[in-house]
Amino acid sequence: MTVVRLTNQELVVISPIQVSDAIVSQLGELGTVRHIIAPNLYHYLFAADFKISYPTATFWATSGLEVKKPDLLIDQIIKSDANSQWNGMEYVFFDGFRTLGLNGFDSLNEWVFFHAASRTLILTDTAFHFDESFPVITQLTTRIFGGYKSLSPSFLERVATTEKDQVKGSVEKVLGWDFERVIMAHGSIVEQNGKEKFKQGYEQFLGRSISAAT
């Protein structure tokens, strides 16, 4: 879970984890939760519980989740990255990116976010970054399947993603942001040189050089 405090002091909760009294207390010290985001078709499991805890917050979800999980009480579908709905946070749709799921190749429909004030890129499943702080079995697995000391997609994405031109276009948009830190759902936060590491990871993944969109 990532929490962003906007310029108006409202809080945005991205990929919420299981809510608890401790989390509610910590969030209360930071501000008021006004937005809850399910950023892709996989990270939604605890969004409904968060909505119950924060009934006045708007529950945003990526397109397609309303079909996948019709029982979810979604308030708004994230449809366009042309104008940010959240003051101080920009976002783009990561087009063409897929993963190898239980039913074959699954689209993620993932949105990625940029918090300008802290120069932070926020990802969910579009890249992984594991290091020696994780258990040995995790280190061994990610050495084989990708994401060990490299900010890059995993083997599951490498197999499933075929629309690489679309992915390249998405990466170019992301590289247009001025970010230093990268937060992802799986792995350790990249505190420094995150933009270059993200670029290198995707150049290796796509097998071609990438420049920022102009």
pLDDT along the chain (214 residues), means of 10: 94 97 96 97 96 96 96 92 77 94 89 96 94 76 71 89 95 96 95 96 94 77
Evaluate whether 37 touches 61 at the Cβ level (below 8 Å): yes
> Can you read off the two tokens belonging to residue 126?
């579009």
Euclidean distance between CA atoms 7 and 145, whole angstroms: 39
pLDDT of the residue at 158:
87
Q: Say whether pTM exceeds 0.85.
A: yes
pLDDT of the residue at 138:
75
pLDDT of the residue at 102:
77
pLDDT of the residue at 147:
64
AA identity, residue 8: N
Euclidean distance between CA atoms 40 and 82, whole angstroms: 18
C-beta neighbour count of 16 within 10 angstroms: 26
Give me the residue label for tokens 């830190």: 181
| β-strands 104-107, 32-38 pairing | unpaired
pLDDT of the residue at 144:
67
pLDDT of the residue at 81:
61
pLDDT digits (tens, 9 = 90+) for 161-178: 999 999 999 999 999 999
pLDDT of the residue at 146:
63
Evaluate whether 140 touches 132 at the Cβ level (below 8 Å): no
